[in-house]
Chain A
Amino acid sequence: MLTRVNGPVDDTGAAVAIKDASFPAPFASGLEYAAPARGTWNIVHVGMLIPQAHQIFVCAQGCLRGVVLTAAEMGAQERFSTVAIEEHNVLEGDLEELLVDGVTDILRRLPKRPPAVLIYTSCIHHFLACDLPLVYQRLGERFPEVDFVDCYMNPIMRKSGLTPDQLMRRQLYAALKPRPREERTVGILGNCFPLEESSELMRMLRGGGWTVRDIHYCRSYAEYQRLAGCETFLTTFPAARAGGEALAQRLGREHLYLPGCWGYDEIGRNLDTLAEALELPREEDGEAVERAEEALAAAHRIIGQCPVVIDYTATARPLGLARLLLAHGFQVRTVYADSFSGEEKEDFLWLQAHAPELTLRPTVQVKMRLLPRQRPEKTLAIGQKAAYFTASRFFVNLVEGGGLYGYDGVRRMAQLMLDAYLHERDTRTLIQVKGLGCGCCV
């Protein structure tokens, strides 16, 4: 039961009908609240995807706390170390020395020398103009057998160029060394979950005789290095796109950005692009669309008029998903998102025209801390934050699309919705697990 220590508030400024909303930022910026939904991955989870690599975070105690416990909750403490920056380092300006000596100390004390070390520097290094090239040069001289990767935990830069999330997905592949091109191999980059084998994209690649490489399939650092041999790289998640482009440019390869989406036209265009670029046979979409339609209809027959709410952590295209579901008769009432990517503009305009009363709500606006969460009726939530804000025990526990893709992704989403509608879940426990799918001892 919620303990109230403050009075009630109204939802002015924390809700807007889409017909009245501005794009891409419907809400005023201000102080920020953080809902207790933890399923999205952070930079520790993403970095752990490199097999056998070791992570060293170099920052203030307050910044270390969250990441060290992320690693501990994953049961990955042996792959994680820290160097604490203290006041005297800031005053004396010896960040370079601290970094080199601290990393050296850790590497000499580890029972086994890792093949790669991800060093995460922080906002302080940026503001005090720490000479990172010098640091990496020194470390390279001391440990020539180790691949050092510069990683960043500098959230203060989140509005200046690439966000920390984009940077992490780029640096995830920074240790790849150039190697000869392997014919008919494709590397899928930057996803927290491998794409479902049943998706049209994967079936086209496999059916066309292409070998698919993905960091999720790598069991050793040597296997990870084979990613560099891929002829072509694919990204499907918006935050991975910049990393895919950078890697392709560095290695002289092709990059295709085929974003996960919910609209049949765009899905078809993505598959056309893939077929053309890789000279793959292009199947007719009819059957796949039919299967998706059948699944949606089957779900709708059961879910009926139950209110549906969606949040941005479940999919990078929450408006696209709302559009798909509304077009198939579902009662989508609310989309929880603080802003939208430019890729959502077309869906935003469609919803303004066809579902003008659809409510948009923020997730970080301060009133979200106090607004009532209990709903008088059963609510189907898609995403952890949507489940939290509606106190729903009927929810699709999914982050970042969960590997769903294409028409098959639509079909599977319909099945997940039906399953969520029929089976009550322990929302409180499930959504507090950090990094969905990473393993968590809590």
Chain B
Amino acid sequence: MRQTASIISTYTADVSGVCSALFELGGMTVMHDASGCNSTYNTHDEPRWYDTDSLVFLSGLSELEAVMGDDEKFIGDVAEAARELHPAFIALAGTPIPMVIGTDFAALAALIQQRTGIPTFGFATNGMHSYLSGASQAFATLAERLVQEPRERRKELSVNLLGVTPLDFSVGPMVGSLRRRLEAEGIAVASCWAMGDSLENICRAGEATVNLVVSWCGLAAARVLRRRFGTPYVVGAPVGEAFTHVLAEEIRAAARDGQDRLPLTKRPPAGPGDLTLIAESVTGGSLAAAMALEQGKRVRLVCPLETEDGFLLPGDVRARDEVELEPLFKEAGGIIADPLYRPLCPPEVPFYELPHEAFSGRIYRRDIQDFIDHIPFFEEKRKRS
């Protein structure tokens, strides 16, 4: 891997993932950085910034503080802001220089919690991983630290939606569609991590019957909740009617036998010559499965982000930079991807736009399709022989 991009974009980084995951929950998230991470986050990664007064701030780390290892300025500033603003919790997120100087975020969090009496979490993000990594750490910490022991399970079949951020689902109708599709199958949504829901409700997530991981960043939280409360999890997003029905059956089965399930891999394998989808693995795999069920398509998934080996089928590929992606584009029967991937697509290969906020930010936000509600139709150029 050459780590170069001559023309394509880059995905939202881990530090923004932490902020995005916790944005609506009434906490205070502090990026420990000199400058830049905040404007990147709130310009390109956070569509709710203008209209929601969430407390996301920057520490303003200076060269002198970094060289001298002066953590006291950071601790004092965070404690002072917390005293003024009374957040429900405090989250600290690291960036490249704190990593280089070996900042101990767990220790900083413990000191700040001691000083403020407010639950405080430290995330050793460093801006070198994707948003999925940061959001995953944030959700897992909520599951570990804030979700309460349930007094009893909910009577009705219910799920927590784990891994919902605008970076994968934007701020349009998609989150509502997630809920609606499940409710149409008779499955209640106990909580949504973490859009359109409250911290109080999320703290009661232990009462749900099953956890539904709708993007990779919800997986770690699902595993924590399994360990703590024995709640099984199912991996897949309710894309389209047919796949949602499959997913619902798996949720019912998981509720019955307590086993984890991976329905997003219930699709035919694909390879060169087939439609190729560049996407996050859970949403992408679910869309591919839905296209197979409803349109008879074989879709090869190319995942440029963190995922699990078990989420991909033989023929699917992990590829991150242009050098790895270019040959996959050339052999594809059609590319379905964010528009900022288009420059890599040879002219003879059809290119279908599927804007992804985590890649192109706000540029194509108005064109983001609610593929949960309606599966777009893409026609491949060449059929497999």
Contact = CB atoms under 8 A, between A and B. Distances in A.
Partners in one complex: yes
30 contacts: A6-B53, A6-B86, A7-B86, A13-B84, A31-B57, A34-B38, A36-B49, A61-B10, A61-B128, A62-B14, A62-B40, A62-B126, A65-B40, A66-B43, A69-B44, A72-B9, A72-B361, A77-B343, A83-B4, A83-B5, A84-B10, A86-B3, A124-B96, A156-B62, A159-B63, A159-B64, A160-B64, A366-B85, A369-B53, A370-B85
**B25, B59, B63: most-surrounded residue (chain A CB, <10 A):** B63
A282 interface: no
Nearest to A107: B6
Interface residues of A, number: 69
Contact of A109 (B6, B38, B62, B360): B6
Interface in A268-311: none
Interface string A427-442: 0100010100000011
Contacts of B59: 31-32
Given A36-B50, A62-B40, A160 B63 contact: yes
A157 to B, nearest CB: 6
Contacts of B25: 5
Given A3-B53, A63-B96, 7 more contacts: A30-B80, A36-B42, A60-B127, A62-B40, A65-B44, A78-B7, A159-B63
Interface stretch (A97-105, A193-201, A409-417): A97-105
A58 to B, nearest CB: 9
Contacts of B58: 31-34
A222 interface: no
Contact of A36 (B43, B61, B86): B43
A123 interface: yes
A31 B60 contact: yes
Contacts of B362: 442
Contact of B34 (A105, A128, A155): A155
Interface stretch (B97-105, B185-193, B282-290, B346-354): B97-105
Contacts of B128: 60-62, 84-87
B9 A69 contact: yes
Interface string B129-170: 110000000000000000000000000000000000000000
B54 A30 contact: no
Interface of A: 1-7, 9, 13, 29-34, 36, 38, 59-66, 68-69, 72-73, 77-78, 80-87, 90, 98, 101-102, 105-106, 109-110, 122-124, 126-128, 153, 155-160, 366-367, 369-370, 428, 432, 434, 441-442
A161 to B, nearest CB: 9
A1 to B, nearest CB: 7
A83 B322 CA distance: 11
Nearest to A64: B10
A44 B191 CA distance: 41
A3 B52 contact: yes
B328 interface: no
A124 B66 CA distance: 12
Nearest to A30: B77
Nearest to B76: A30
B318 to A, nearest CB: 15
B55 interface: yes
B51 A5 contact: no
A84 B51 contact: no
B93 to A, nearest CB: 10
